[in-house]
């Protein structure tokens, strides 16, 4: 038998550890719920210690991947922007391809906002859209069409505001998202054709292309898990295939140089 002193010490120690667990539980719960886990999954994993609860682990993986993609999207196209600015040229970039990619990103963003999908399932579309608009302007600017570039920016902003307004029918938004598949396919094929005709990839950024490829692959899983929307998931399947084609061309033309670069050498 334990003495009274031992019993009290045990009680005190138990209370101390319980208090410590309670103190740690508060900040941890605030950090994870609802950003990465619903409350029932938090209780399942961190209260009941069911660490192999598959449905909750899928949610945690999907949310983590989604937020990682959104965070990474802040930098995905910046290498492309900086490469154009440094070269003062957009050679090798197909304006039609960039425009079609912008249409696809806009469709995904508007469709997701309209359907109240979690930000972690589509947030990168917002940041990629802003960077793609910048690239569109730079392609026009370095092509000697600066005023056309400014007009494009104004017109795009007005169209985006209209699409996000209550005046736009939901059916039109769904149609816009459905048009993403042909837009992505045609856009990437145009870029692939430009690369093939030039025999090089010009100012196309390898970092940007490979990040887009990896992001679209991960988005197939997160779209199925977080939205359950076959239209969204299908779009990312097609996007992954098309981004994979451009990535393969980059590897194939890795040592090929543009004609003006050869002359400089």
Assess contact for 124 and 215: CB atoms under 8 A.
Answer: yes
Give the pair of three-digit tokens for residue 222: 């997160």
pLDDT for res 25:
61
**Cα Rg of the chain, angstroms:** 25
Assess contact for 53 and 44: CB atoms under 8 A.
Answer: yes
Positive or negative torsion for Cα 221, 226, 228, 233: negative
| Residue indicated by tokens 């042909």 | 182
Which numeric CATH code is attached to 170-255? Answer: 1.20.1280
| Residue indicated by tokens 């990103």 | 105
Assess contact for 81 and 135: CB atoms under 8 A.
Answer: yes
Query: pLDDT tens digits for the chain (265 residues)?
Result: 444 344 343 444 444 444 444 455 667 677 677 767 788 887 888 888 878 888 888 888 888 888 888 888 888 899 999 999 999 998 888 899 899 999 989 999 999 999 998 888 888 899 999 999 999 999 999 999 999 999 999 999 999 999 999 999 999 999 988 888 888 889 889 999 988 898 888 878 888 889 889 989 988 988 888 888 888 888 889 999 999 999 999 999 888 765 555 555 4
**DSSP secondary-structure letter at 45?**
I
**94 Cβ partners below 8 Å, 6+ apart?**
187, 190, 191, 193, 194
| Residue indicated by tokens 């899983």 | 221
CA 178-204-103 angle, to 5 degrees, is 20
- Tell me whether residue 153 is exposed, middle or buried, using C-beta atoms within 10 angstroms of its C-beta: 0 to 12, 13 to 18, 19 or more: middle
Query: Cα separation of 177 and 124, whole Å?
Result: 16
Write phi, then psi, for 23 (nearest 5 degrees): -65, -40
pLDDT for res 27:
73
Global confidence as pTM: 0.70
Query: Which among 167, 184, 170 has a CA at the least distance from the CA of 115?
Result: 170
pLDDT for res 3:
43
What is each CA distance from 73 to 99, 111, 156, 196, 226, in whole angstroms? 18, 19, 21, 28, 18
Q: Where are the domains of the chain?
A: 37-73, 75-168, 170-255
Give the pair of three-digit tokens for residue 115: 């359907």
pLDDT for res 134:
96
Assess contact for 184 and 101: CB atoms under 8 A.
Answer: yes
Query: Cα separation of 74 and 97, whole Å?
Result: 21
Positive or negative torsion for Cα 173, 177, 183, 187: positive
């Amino acid at each position: 038998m334990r003495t009274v002193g031992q019993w009290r010490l045990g009680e005190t120690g138990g209370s101390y550890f319980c208090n410590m667990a309670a103190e740690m539980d508060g900040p941890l719960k605030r950090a994870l719920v609802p950003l990465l886990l619903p409350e029932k999954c938090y209780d399942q994993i961190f209260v009941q210690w069911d660490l192999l609860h598959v449905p909750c682990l899928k949610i945690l993986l999907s949310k983590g991947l989604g937020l990682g993609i959104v965070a990474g999207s802040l930098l995905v196209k910046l290498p492309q922007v900086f490469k154009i600015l440094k070269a003062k040229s957009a050679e090798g970039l197909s304006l039609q391809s960039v425009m079609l990619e912008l249409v696809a990103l806009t469709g995904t963003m508007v469709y997701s906002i309209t359907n109240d999908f979690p930000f972690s399932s589509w947030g990168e579309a917002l940041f990629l859209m802003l960077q793609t608009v910048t690239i569109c302007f730079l392609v026009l600017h370095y092509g000697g069409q600066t005023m056309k570039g400014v007009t494009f920016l104004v017109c795009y902003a007005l169209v985006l505001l209209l699409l996000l307004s209550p005046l736009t029918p939901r059916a039109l938004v769904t149609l816009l998202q459905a048009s993403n598949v042909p837009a992505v396919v045609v856009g990437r094929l145009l870029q692939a054709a430009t690369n093939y005709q030039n025999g090089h990839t010009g100012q196309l950024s390898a970092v940007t292309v490979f990040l887009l490829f990896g992001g679209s692959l991960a988005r197939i899983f997160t779209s199925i898990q977080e939205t359950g929307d076959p239209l969204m998931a299908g779009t990312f399947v097609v996007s992954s295939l098309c981004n994979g084609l451009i990535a393969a061309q980059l590897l194939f033309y890795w040592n090929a140089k543009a004609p003006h670069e050869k002359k400089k050498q």
